[in-house]
Amino acid sequence: MSKRKPQSLTFKSLLLENPFGLLVAMLVGIISSLAAVALLGISGWFLSAAGLASAMGAALVFNFFTPGALVRLMAILRTAGRYGEQVFSHDHLLGLLRSLRLWVWDQRVNTPQAKVNKQTKGDLLQRLVGDLDQIIKWPLAVVMPWVYGLIGCLGLLALGAFVSPVLMLPIAVYGVVQLWLMPWLANRAALLSVYTMQALSVHRRSRFMSVFSALITLTIRGHWQHYSERLDNLDERQRKLQARLQRSTSMTKLISQLMSFLLIGSFFVLCLEISDQGISIQAEVEATWLVALVLAALGVNELMQPIANAVLAQGQSKVGLKRLNQLAISRAKHELEHVQVLPFASISLREFSGRYETSTIHLPKVNFALARGGSMRLVGASGSGKSTCLAAIAGDLSYDGEVWLDDQRLTHLDAPSWRNQLAYLSQQSVIFQQSLRANLCLGNATATDAELYQVLHTLGLKEWAEALPNGLDTLLGAQGRDISGGQARRICLARVLLRGSPLLILDEPFDGLDSVSIERVCEALTHGPYRPDFLIYVSHIDTALDQYSNSCSLN
Partner 1 sequence: MRKRLKTPEQQFLSELQQAEKKRFQTVKWLGVLIALTIVAQALGLAKVIADLVLEGSFPLSAALLAGGAYLLKVVVQFVREQLCASASRNIRFSLRKRLINHLTKLGPNRLQLDEDAGLSTRVYEQVDALDDYYSRYVPQVFLVTFIPLTIMLAVLPVSWIAFFIFAFTAPLVVFFMILVGHKAANANRKQFKVLSLLSNQFMDLNQGMAELKRLGQTQSARERLSLTASEYQKTTMGVLRLAFLSTGTLELFSSVAIAMVALYLGLGLLEQLPWQTGVSPVSLFAAFYLLLLAPEFYLPLRQLGNDYHAKQKAEAAATDIQAILDVELNASSEHKQVSVHEVSALSLTPMIELVDLHWQQNGRTRLANISAAIQQGERVWLRGESGAGKSSLMSILLGFEQQYQGSILIEATPLYPMDMQAWRHRLAWLPQQPEWVQGTIRQNLELGLGHCSDDALRTALIKSHCWDFVGQLRFGWDTPISEAGTGLSGGQMQRLSIARALLSQADIWLLDEPCSGLDSETAEQVLNTLDEASFGKTVLIISHDTHPVVWANQQWVMTKEGVHVETQTPISYV
- Nearer to partner 1 among residue 46 and residue 146 (C-beta): 46
- Nearer to partner 1 among residue 29 and residue 44 (C-beta): 44
Smallest separation, CB 396 to partner 1 (Å): 7
Smallest separation, CB 276 to partner 1 (Å): 12
Asked if 391 and 397 touch (Cβ cutoff 8 Å), the reply is yes
Smallest separation, CB 527 to partner 1 (Å): 25
* CA–centroid distance for 316 within its chain: 13
- Nearer to partner 1 among residue 157 and residue 442 (C-beta): 442
Q: What residues contact residue 389 under an 8 Å CB cut-off, 6+ apart?
A: 352, 353, 354, 363, 366, 378, 554
Smallest separation, CB 406 to partner 1 (Å): 22
- Nearer to partner 1 among residue 102 and residue 526 (C-beta): 102
Smallest separation, CB 381 to partner 1 (Å): 8
* CA–centroid distance for 24 within its chain: 24
- Nearer to partner 1 among residue 278 and residue 407 (C-beta): 278
Helix (H, G, I), strand (E, B) or coil at 423: strand
To the nearest 10°, report the CA torsion of 260, 266, 271, 276.
Answer: 130
CA distance 171 to 155: 10
Q: Strands 408-410, 534-538: parallel, antiparallel or unpaired by DSSP?
A: unpaired
Q: What residues contact residue 492 under an 8 Å CB cut-off, 6+ apart?
A: 425, 426, 429, 430, 431
Sign of the dihedral through C-alpha 439, 443, 445, 449:
negative
Instruction: Give the H or E element holding residue 227.
Output: helix 224-271
Smallest separation, CB 161 to partner 1 (Å): 20
- Nearer to partner 1 among residue 120 and residue 553 (C-beta): 120
- Nearer to partner 1 among residue 139 and residue 443 (C-beta): 443
- Nearer to partner 1 among residue 405 and residue 498 (C-beta): 498
DSSP letter string over 151-167?
Answer: HHHHHHHHHHHHH-GGG
Smallest separation, CB 451 to partner 1 (Å): 16
Smallest separation, CB 465 to partner 1 (Å): 20
DSSP letter string over 95-146?
Answer: HHHHHHHHHHHHHHHTS-HHHHHHHHSTTHHHHHHHHHHHHHTHIIIIIHHH
